[in-house]
Amino acid sequence: MPVFEFQCQACDHAFEELVRSASEASKVVCPECGSKRAARKLSVFAARSGMDGSAKAASSRGPCGRCGDPNGPCAL
38-40/14-18 β-pairing: unpaired
Domain annotation covers residue 24: yes
Q: What is the pLDDT of residue 59?
A: 45
Domain annotation covers residue 45: no
Interatomic CA distance for residues 63 and 74, integer angstroms: 9
Interatomic CA distance for residues 8 and 25, integer angstroms: 13
Interatomic CA distance for residues 20 and 13, integer angstroms: 22
Interatomic CA distance for residues 21 and 8, integer angstroms: 19
Domain annotation covers residue 46: no
Q: What is the pLDDT of residue 14?
A: 94
Whether the full predicted model's pTM is greater than 0.75, yes or no, is: no
Structural domain span for residue 32: 3-40
Number of domains composing the chain: 1
Domain annotation covers residue 21: yes
Q: What is the pLDDT of residue 23?
A: 83
Domain annotation covers residue 7: yes
* Segment 9-68, tens digit of pLDDT: 999 999 999 988 878 888 999 999 999 999 998 876 666 666 655 555 444 556 776 777
